[in-house]
Homo-oligomer: A and B are copies of this chain.
C-alpha cells in the first residue's frame, strides 16, 4: 500500500516508517527536512519535503493511508487540532484512510474519567500538558467526523523509543501491564498501526496499545 507519514522523522513517525518499509509498503516521508529523512531511512527512500500546513490535496491524493504523526512544541500544541481538521477537510467522502496519533489524555481511567485530569497532577505537567490537552481536543473533533475513514491511536501514559515487544490492545481505557506499567514503545505502536493498516478493523474510532 502507498502510505504517507506526516512527521516521519519524529519518534512515532520514524518507527512507523521503518515498520512500513520493512513490510514492503510504498512508504513516503512527509517532512520539513528531506536530508534528515534520507539519513534516517536511506538515500532511496521517498520523501515529500513540505511543511504539513503547506500540503495541498494533490500532494496527498494518491495515498491509500496517511498517518498524522505530526509533533510540535507545547506552545503551539493547537496545531495538532488544526492539522487534523485540514486533513479531514481534504478527505471528506473519500476512501483515503487517516491515522491520528493521539496522546493518552483522552483515554479513560478506572472511574471512567478522562486521563488528562490525572496527567495534570504530575508535578511538571505545566510544561507539556498542552500537548495531551490539544490531542484530546483533536479526538473530540474527530468524533464528530462521520464521512472520513479515520482511526485514532493512543499510547499508554509513557511513550518511548524502543523496539516492538508483545502488545496489549484496548479501546478507550488507559491500559496497564502485569507490572502495573502503562508504557508504549515506538516499535510496539508502529507494529499495531501497520497491523491495522493491513487488516482494517477500526473505523471512525480510537484504539490504544501498550507494551505487555
Q: Is A78 an interface residue (CB 8 A)?
A: yes
Contact indicator B141/A78 (Cβ below 8 Å):
no
- Which of A1-9, A82-90, A170-178 lies at the interface? A82-90
Instruction: From known contacts A140-B140, A141-B141, infer whether A147 and B92 are also in contact, taking CB-CB under 8 Å.
Output: no
Q: Is A26 an interface residue (CB 8 A)?
A: no
Contact indicator B78/A82 (Cβ below 8 Å):
no
Contact indicator A81/B144 (Cβ below 8 Å):
yes
Judged by DSSP, the binding face of A is: helix
Minimal beta-carbon separation of A36 from chain B (angstroms): 26
Minimal beta-carbon separation of A88 from chain B (angstroms): 7
Could you say which residues of chain B place their CB within 8 Å of the CB of A64? none
Complex Cα distance A81/B145, Å? 9
Could you say which residues of chain B place their CB within 8 Å of the CB of A85? 81-82, 85-86, 88-89, 141
Could you say which residues of chain B place their CB within 8 Å of the CB of A145? 78, 81, 137
Of the candidates B53, B78, B141, which one forms a contact with A147 in the assembled complex, judged by CB atoms under 8 Å apart? B78
Of the candidates B82, B88, B92, B137, which one forms a contact with A92 in the assembled complex, judged by CB atoms under 8 Å apart? B82
Q: Please list 11 pairs of residues, one from A and one from B, whose beta carbons are closer than 8 Å in the complex, sorted by A's number.
A: A81-B144, A81-B145, A82-B88, A82-B89, A85-B85, A85-B86, A85-B88, A137-B145, A140-B141, A140-B144, A141-B144
Binding site for B on A (CB under 8 A): 53, 78, 81-82, 85-86, 88-89, 92, 137, 140-141, 144-145, 147
